[in-house]
């Protein structure tokens, strides 16, 4: 019984410590796909570096640097989601209508 409690306490401590585990190819692929989807949703409102960040994530994944690929892809996904919010906030803000086509 003491061993079980010790194991549970150790597992909880590990989870709460924010220990990171190495990312895999599947993790990198999923993160890159999510970034691409978010960027596609930002159509026309893409931030300058988002596409570059996605390409950097793909390059890192190709080199087997999956942690770096996931990190870069998550940053790109964040930028794409902010670009979407920014575009929604600019709608009907007095800009010419051709900007919204």
**Looking at the domain assignment, is residue 5 inside a domain?**
no
Whether 74 is covered by a domain: the verdict is yes
Q: How far apart are the first and last CA of the chain?
A: 66
Could you read off the pLDDT tens digit of each residue along the chain, which spans 101 residues?
566 666 666 666 666 655 557 889 999 999 999 999 999 988 888 899 999 999 999 999 999 999 999 999 999 999 999 999 888 876 666 666 776 66
Domain-located, residue 72? yes
Cα 88 from Cα 15, distance rounded (Å) = 37
**Residue 79 falls inside a structural domain:** yes
Q: Looking at the domain assignment, is residue 28 inside a domain? A: yes
Query: Residues with Cβ < 8 Å from 9, sequence gap 6 or more?
Result: none
- pTM, 2 dp: 0.69
96 within domain boundaries = no
How far is residue 85's CA from residue 91's CA, in Å, rounded to a whole number? 10
**How many structural domains is the chain composed of?**
1
Among residues 79, 71, 78, 72, the alpha carbon closest in space to that of 47 is found at 79
| Enclosing domain of residue 84 | 23-91
């Amino acid at each position: 019984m003491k061993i079980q409690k010790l194991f549970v306490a150790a597992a909880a401590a590990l989870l709460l410590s924010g220990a990171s585990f190495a990312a895999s190819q599947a993790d990198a692929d999923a993160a890159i796909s999510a970034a691409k989807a978010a960027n596609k949703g930002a159509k026309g409102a893409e931030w300058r570096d988002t596409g570059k960040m996605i390409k950097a994530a793909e390059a890192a994944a190709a080199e087997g640097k999956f942690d770096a690929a996931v990190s870069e892809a998550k940053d790109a996904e964040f930028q794409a989601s902010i670009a979407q919010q920014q575009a929604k906030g600019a709608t009907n803000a007095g800009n010419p209508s051709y900007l919204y086509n």
